[in-house]
Amino acid sequence: MKVQEVVNNLKCRFPNEPEYIQAVTEVLESIEEVYNLHPEFERVNLVERLCIPDRIFSFRVTWVDDKGRVQTNMAYRVQHNNTIGPYKGGIRFHSSVNPSILKFLAFEQTFKNSLTTLPMGGGKGGSDFSPRGKSNAEVMRFCQAFILELWRHIGPDTDVPAGDIGVGGREVAYMYGMYRKLARENTGTFTGKGIEFGGSLVRPEATGYGNIYFLLEMLKTKGISIEGKRCLVSGSGNVAQYTCEKLIQLGAIPVTLSDSDGYIYDPDGITKEKLDYVMELKNIERGRIREYAEKYNCKYVAGGRVWSETGDIALPSATQNELNEDDAIRLVKSGCIAVSEGANMPSTPEAVAVFQEAKMLYAPGKAANAGGVATSGLEMTQNSMRLSWTREEVDEKLKRIMKDIHEQCVKYGKTSDDYIDYVKGANVAGFMKVAKAMLAQGII
């Protein structure tokens, strides 16, 4: 395989899909060496089959808003690869959603799911519908209309969606309710469900907690304690909130949060009490992070990004490409020791190069945020068994999985000077399992 040739070919076929090309390029560059040690992969054109999704459903969603106006949105489900298990990946509701973003997410998800050690393939879906500013009734009608089309293509052993940006417990519940009614079955086709109807304990916390468990493993390799470390967290949604919760439990000090309008910097640290306020503000009142600064009298920077502040650890937890080269240079210069990605592909390729050049502890989302989907896998297992595990059991399994993922990254990513290239480690480990399974199953 020659990476540039493959990428150029994909660019010609999918010219308007920059995020997809970015994700594919990053993975191919890091697996090139290993891939080329296996001529049997090249003989069956494995690379192209692995980069191009199995199928994409695209459909119109029509719904009625509170004023009685008929609205339409576009929606998609990308079923990327199901060689090692049913398609699995979240649903995103955000005005920016398009095929390129969903293809990049589904591609990444395939390797991430492989890394979790659980039998799950990769997929992703979503719509350009934005829940922001919509009433509960509007969100419900949209979710129902979305499922009216999608339900035929998903199922407990075919494709199991979950949440992502703009899709939390409320949206999953509305979608699952409609799915259950149409499919006339109750087998847990969604994960991230409410605890009363098949959800797993610790699933809401899992992505943020998992990211910190992974960070602890990275810090351990350098003998560094997390206690007292000042942490820059971006976003203020599900991942950011539970990242902060775990940091606080471990004696670290989160000092920032953000949303798409701006960020807050609280030099005294975000305490448990302040975090409870953020959860109420964001999950129930659906307000803006600016209100935190007004309540606690701290700095708010409209339109700014948290990376302008100084911290020991950076935890990007909002969205793709939210941390660029300049941000990365500033972080390195100001003494930041670790970056662990809660979001998917939040650092641009140039930013990643800066972190790696500086030999920083840097974990890509594929490894660091895999705790979310791993716990979704545990939810699927509990649904299949018709049993529920305790909080301690799930949390213990999550810790074990994050430790395993870290071990795989070390195994495949350690360089000759003892630096751990977590990007290479995660990509090679995730890739090898899917590639071997595809090879074994023949040309299909």
Give residues in contact with ligand NDP (CB under 6 A): 163-166, 168, 207, 235-240, 259-261, 317-319, 342-344, 369, 372
Residue for token digits 């979704």? 376
- Give the nearest distance from C-beta 401 to ligand NDP in angstroms: 14
* 164/217 with CB nearer ligand NDP: 164
Cβ-closest residue to ligand NDP? 237
- The catalytic residue among 88, 103, 112, 124 is 124
* 429/438 with CB nearer ligand NDP: 429
- Give the nearest distance from C-beta 344 to ligand NDP in angstroms: 4
∠ CA(156), CA(159), CA(164), 5° rounding? 110
* 397/436 with CB nearer ligand NDP: 397
- Give the nearest distance from C-beta 78 to ligand NDP in angstroms: 14
* CB-neighbour burial class of residue 196 (10 A; exposed 0-12, middle 13-18, buried 19+): exposed
DSSP label of 420 = B
Q: How many CA atoms lie less than 13 Å away from 210 in the CB half-sphere?
A: 36
Determine whether 246 is an active site residue.
Answer: no
Let me know how long the chain is.
444
- Give the nearest distance from C-beta 177 to ligand NDP in angstroms: 20
Dihedral (C-alpha) 371, 374, 380, 383: value to the nearest 10 degrees? -50
Can you tell me the distance from the alpha carbon of 155 to that of 327, in angstroms, rounded to the nearest whole number? 42
Using N-to-C axis directions, what is the helix angle for 238-249 and 272-279, rounded to 10°?
170
- Give the nearest distance from C-beta 164 to ligand NDP in angstroms: 5
Tell me the CA distances in angstroms from 385 to 26, 165, 183, 188, 379, one per residue in order: 38, 29, 20, 11, 10
Can you tell me the distance from the alpha carbon of 341 to that of 339, in angstroms, rounded to the nearest whole number? 6
Question: What are the catalytic residues?
Answer: 124
